[in-house]
Every structure is written in C-alpha cells, then in structure tokens.
Structure 1
Amino acid sequence: MSEQNDRWGIPGTYVFDLQLSRRGYAINRMCNSLKLEENRAAFVADEEAYMSRYGLDDEQKQAVRERDWLRLTQLGGNLFFFLKLAATVGHGLYQIGAQMRGESYETFMKTRQVPGAV
C-alpha cells in the first residue's frame, strides 16, 4: 500500500478515497452488519463462515483473524465500520489506536490526555 501513501504524500496515512473504498467494500459491509445483535452472535459463533458470507478475500480474512486494525485500514476498512467489529470482539478505540501505532496500550495511554489513564 505504499503506492497509496506515495500518491497523497502523507507518510503513515491511508486516505479513504474511491480506490480504497472499493477495495474495502466487503470488509465495511461485513463490519456494518455487526450493528445487529443476531449478526454479532453469528460472527462470534463462526468467524470464518461469517467472513465468507460477506465475500472477504484471504488477505482481508487474515487481517480480521489477527485483529490487525492497521492492515484493515490499508485494505480499505473504515474505522467507523470496523469499530463495530472491534466492539464485537472486545476491543476499544484506544486499543485500536495503540496497535495501529505499534505501541502497547499502556504506552499509548501515556500520550493521551485522559483523566485517570495509565
């Protein structure tokens, strides 16, 4: 995905443009479906079947399996959609941010101005 970065000239940033939107359509569609309780239950019961139901390719499935939020972004996942996935598997926004920055949760939280944070 360095080509996408180079095109926009913003190191470490993935601009959610039309190309990336098309690439991530299956991820975002699947994640959006998790707004319904019965879909969350179906995902938790059988992640592989659920991902196949939405047509994720192998690379996308691997990113979901690994809870690799940065890779999901690189593959066209939009944070507003994959937050539904994160919540379904017990991850929060700060955990996502830490992982995307390559930091531990504790290190990441030290950079936030959150009262009572680690």
Structure 2
Amino acid sequence: MLSTEDMDRAVGFYRDLLGGTETYRFPEGEPPVFLALRLGESEVGLGAIGASAPLHGQPQRPAQGHRIELCVYVDDVDATVERLRAAGVPILVEPVDQAWGERVAYVADPDGNLLMLTR
C-alpha cells in the first residue's frame, strides 16, 4: 500500500495513465480513503494520508528520497513513457534495453515514488 497526499492525482496516475483496474474501494463513492488497483498480475493499494488514524499508530508522511521502488510490467515501455510524458509525469530514465533482456524506464509517481516500467 502506498500513502498519498492527493488521492485524485494518485488514482489518475495508477488507474488512468498506467491502466490499473479498480478492485476495491472504501468507502463506496467519492472520495475513497483506500483504493486497490490491479496492474497486470499485481495489485497496489492507495491510502489517503490524514483520512483517518493509521492502525499501526505511526505518523504517515509522503515518501522522501528513494524509499521504495515499484516494478510495473507494461505491454510497451516506449509507448507508456510517451503517454506519461504527455501527461506531465517526470521521466527519470528513458527506455533502454538491459543486458538481462528487458527494456526498462524509470518514472516518478505523483508522490515521488520510483517506478521501473519494464517489458
């Protein structure tokens, strides 16, 4: 689960730009406090910072620096990067073929989390 300060921006990124399919929403209707999205064979949860007290009792905060890195498999790395670029998403590393046979690029989500897009 990723914490976000702006649920609309996070949903716009993971659902609308990366093609995630909503699998769960709480509460029903708008705005959600928690939303789960399927991306290929994986699922990511988005939780709104400050919407309620976290169960773990630790303060929530947006990511600072390189805390996590998500790997998202896409059908076409280059086309996905161009779609994200057109939407104003920061492209950190342009698509490049790797020695292990995958093509990868890096982007940042609206909360600054790193995403490795690969095929």
Higher share in helix:
1
Higher share in strand:
2
Does the alignment reach a TM-score above 0.5? no
TM-score by length of 1: 0.24
